[in-house]
Structure 1
Amino acid sequence: MTDKPLGALVSDWTTPVAPGPMTLEGRYCRLEPLSAETHAALLFNAFVDQDELYDYLPAGPFHSAAQYDRWVREVTSDASSLFFAVYDLRREAYLGVLSYLRIAPSAGSIEVGNINFSKAMQRSPVSTEAVYLMMKWAFEAGYRRFEWKCNALNKPSRQAAQRLGFSYEGIFRQALVVKERNRDTAWFAMIDKEWPAMKEAYRVWLDQANFDAEGKQLERLGDLTGLVRFASDPTL
């Protein structure tokens, strides 16, 4: 026997599978495995004249459909991540991308990232549901931890993480060099024991009854997830 503090036993947990090509569909959007042939030209057009959306991303902006096509082929050939195109079911258009990355089944940890939502998709149920579908699959597959990381200077991303129910975990200083600039990284995460209550918060928020005739929300998602979130971002 030892009197040293040790972590809780994880005896009833099975290592989950790594995500593979799949389609995830909700009420407002559908996530499809990203494909150069199917999506590149349409997504390039969705991001025209929105170069500022790439300020905190590792690649872009792209100034031709050919450039965007090459980027899609590059990221979809990398087995360390799994990219999706976001299809808006109401607008009938592809309006964004996001991915799984830092996929670690043996640790039960997975991250959502490379998020780039066009202006037409931002601040809408589509953008919220896209992330929800990713987290739903992860927790139902058996992952214990779902992560969100962003440039610490990217205040909208930090606000989004908190609204979506991710708990703030701190800043990794000088974590990366991106586009020849220093990047401090803000870390956020959600864990499996929080998921049942978070899932209920999303069910309430995404329900059509939560929106009036003009599409205005009645309940704010941040108010619902804030009841469950473990830690808040002190900068917000």
Structure 2
Amino acid sequence: MTVQKTSSTNFHFPVRPLESDRVLLVPFDFPTHGPPFVQVGKSHPEIFDYLPWGPFDAPDEFEAVYNTRIGSVPSSQLYASYSKGWRGNGHGNAEPHLDEHGNTFAGIIGYLNTDKEHGISEIGFGQVVTFPAFQKSHFTTHAVGLLELYAMDLPSRGGLGLRRLQWQAHADNARSVKAAERMGFQFEGILRWARVLPENKSGHVPTLKSSSGSSNLESSSGSEQAEAADEVVSELFAKKRPGRHSALLAICWDDWVDENLGGGGVRKKVVELMERQ
């Protein structure tokens, strides 16, 4: 991981570009990265399937979300991820965005739910977004690994020295859970009804079951029991927007430390994955 000049943001911790031999992460700058991100989303709306927002018709729609939920929140920091040298496996209708050094914009990734006092952060924003042209390659391994190294390494090694780094994914997003486990995160459980989703997102629709748990209660049955159940659902979920169950995974400081020091050796595993891809 290359240490570079710190940037000025609202994040709880110092923010700077993070770099491996194949991937560069830079603090997200909306005028630079917002429009090309939206453009890729138009060509590949599936990248928003498990995100709590998007797709967007125009950059200003994304800007409103970014300013409200990310840019102004001290517990969050978004990065633009660039591929160094490799241009990917085709970009569809989206023209690839290059920086001044010829690196190709390949996705977004970041921290959220960061608690400085307790030494906790999370890799996410609903999903680590790697553009389709760079999926099934080394790219996500390097991008996630860079954030892991910066978060979990001791300050003496250039990191933040956090005690816990989390990963949450839509419980139905097996690909995201698998990616996290591959990068050393341990599955800790399912957080039921963890989020309310927009109406256009795939999730769980609020229903209640009978006392036997055998079937859903429907108002069409005309039973008093079903009507009472519908009243509960209507009051709790006025617009009946879908909900999300979240898979929770984490790496803790004792998982990260090398095995010869009594730890779980996750750091060594992450570095080895990055070196061989």
- TM-score scaled by structure 1? 0.76
TM-score by length of 2: 0.65
Residue in structure 1 matched with residue 253 of structure 2 by the alignment: 192
Deviations 1:81-138 (Å, cap 9, x if unpaired)? 1111101112321111111111112212111111221111222211111111111011
1:160 maps to 179
Alignment partner of 1:169 is 2:188: yes
Q: 1:145 to 1:73 in 2, by over 3 A?
A: same
- Which moves more between the two structures, 72-81 or 110-119? 72-81
Q: Which AA in structure 1 matches 2:24?
A: R
- Asked if the contact 2:109–2:129 (Cα under 8 Å) also holds between the matched residues in 1, the reply is yes
Larger radius of gyration: 2
Residues 1:63 and 2:124 are matched in the alignment: no
Q: Which residue of 1 aligns with 2:73?
A: 78
For the Cα contact (< 8 Å) 2:119–2:164, is it kept in 1?
yes
Q: Contact 1:35–1:73 (CA<8 Å) still a contact in 2? A: no
The 3-state SS of whatever aligns with 1:142 is: coil
Q: More strand per residue: 1 or 2? A: 1
What is the identity, as a one-letter code, of the residue corresponding to 1:205? L
Q: Residue in 1 aligned with 2:106?
A: 95
Secondary structure of the 1:206 match is helix
Task: Give the aligned length.
Answer: 193
Q: Which residue of 1 aligns with 2:231?
A: none
CA distance in 2, matches of 1:83, 1:120: 21
One-letter amino acid matched to 2:180: A
Q: Deviations over 1:195-234 (max 9, x none)?
A: 1322222222222xx35xxxxxxxxxxxxxxxxxxxxxxx
Q: How do 1:131-150 and structure 2 match up within 5 A?
A: 131-140=144-153, 141-150=160-169
Question: 2:115 corresponds to which residue?
Answer: 104
Mapped to 2, the partners of 1:70 and 1:169 lie a distance apart of 33
Q: 2:140 aligns with which of 127, 134, 150?
A: 127
Partners of 1:203 and 1:87 in 2: CA distance: 19
Bigger mean CA deviation after superposition, 93-102 or 57-66: 57-66
Task: Name the aligned partner's letter for residue 86 of structure 1.
Answer: S
3-state secondary structure, aligned to 2:169: strand
Question: Among the aligned pairs, what percent are the same residue?
Answer: 29
Supply the AA of the counterpart residue of 1:96: G
Superposed CA RMSD in Å reads 1.8
5+ residue gaps in structure 1? Answer: 1-16, 212-236
